[in-house]
Amino acid sequence: MNTKDIILHLKEPLKEMIDPDHLLTDKLLSEDVLSNSERQEVESKATLEKRNETLLDFVVQKNEAARLRFISSLRDTDQEHVCNFINYNGGTKRHI
């Protein structure tokens, strides 16, 4: 399973776990995971769940390298628990 499949599989719990407001969108912009317009679209959503849904929709459209930068950006923004959740496929598989 690649990271796209894993993120899609875990999308519902991830929508509740990620903190997009804790510098994550800025980090993703600096890592070329999100464009400025994508970052603005994520940040414009009214609820946390909608921001995360939009963010995840953008991330799964990216290539594998960008998705790996997304995962490392979670770690860099003190969301290692989310990073681990993805890396271990929600706790059901070995590390990707």
Ranges of each domain in the chain: 3-89
Residues 6+ apart with CB under 8 A from 94: 88
Q: What is the pLDDT of residues 72-95, one digit of tens each?
A: 999 999 999 999 999 888 876 655
Element spanning 10, H or E: none
Q: What is the pLDDT of residues 19-76, one digit of tens each?
A: 998 799 999 999 999 999 999 999 999 999 999 999 999 999 999 999 999 999 999 9
Pick the CATH number of 3-89 from 1.10.533.10, 1.10.8.640, 3.30.1220.10, 1.10.3860.10: 1.10.533.10
The DSSP output letter for 89 is G
- Global confidence as pTM: 0.91
| Cβ contacts of 42-51, under 8 Å, gap ≥ 24 | 48/16, 48/19, 48/20, 48/21, 49/15, 49/16, 51/20, 51/21
